Amino acid sequence: DTAVSQTPKYLVTQMGNDKSIKCEQNLGHDTMYWYKQDSKKFLKIMFSYNNKELIINETVPNRFSPKSPDKAHLNLHINSLELGDSAVYFCASTHSRGPNTEAFFGQGTRLTVV
Amino acid sequence: AQSVTQPDIHITVSEGASLELRCNYSYGATPYLFWYVQSPGQGLQLLLKYFSGDTLVQGIKGFEAEFKRSQSSFNLRKPSVHWSDAAEYFCAVGARNTDKLIFGTGTRLQVFP
């Protein structure tokens, strides 16, 4: 069983479109995250949710809207896609809040905006 | 603000050789320190972590890392590299008063037979 699963794995879309990436974890964790990895492999946190409550919003443009329907799911919706949004987006989860717990990552969603 | 520096963008070693990947952090107190590995097309997997106590920590896949407060370093080592170790390696720091991890820019490891 995959612990943290993301769909889709690849996403190619045109500028201006709206798209969503879904993430689910079956670890029973309370906290979930979205990270963005750019073309230079730099990994930066975007959002975190704890028990469906937004904890971190790391100055991400408001075209990006996370939604957590329950603590096992954290989806990422992106409006009006731009070329600069092309990246690999990783979902992750931890047992609880705080940086001292192991993060489990999904396989990533490679988003390409053309 | 905390930060992480991985000075080596790309390292190439022969299979069976020893390995050391460098990581330096900037943080006022003792941080939480992690090493993650990313295989091609995969997500990140935790290799090891340091919170407190013994400064030499053992991880999975035969890796170890040593925390040196005086040098603000947390270098990753392996005595004998296997071809399957070829991957991207990320050092990360977690500040004790936040919920997030700060990642370094990664070191790409190539292993030649």
Q: Which residues of A touch B46 (CB under 8 A)?
A: 102-103
CB contact under 8 A, A102 and B96: no
What does the pLDDT average to over A19-46? 94
pLDDT, tens only, A87-100 = 999 999 998 887 77
In chain B, pLDDT over 90 holds for what percent of residues? 75
How far is residue A83's CA from residue A77's CA, in Å, rounded to a whole number?
16
Interface touch B94/A42, C-beta < 8 Å: no
Give the model's pLDDT for residue B101. Answer: 86
Q: Which pLDDT does position B43 carry in this prediction?
A: 87
Closest residue in B to A33 (Cα) is B100
Question: Which residues, 6+ apart, have CB-to-CB distance to A62 below 8 Å?
Answer: none
Q: What sign does the dihedral B10-B33-B31-A73 (CA atoms) show?
A: positive
Count Cα atoms within 13 angstroms, Cβ side, for B105: 8
Q: Which residues of B touch A106 (CB under 8 A)?
A: 43
pLDDT at A20 exceeding the cut of 80: yes
Q: pLDDT tens across B22-76, in order? A: 999 988 777 899 999 999 888 899 999 998 889 999 999 999 999 999 999 999 9
pLDDT on residue A1: 66
Distance from CA of A15 to the nearest CA of B (A): 24
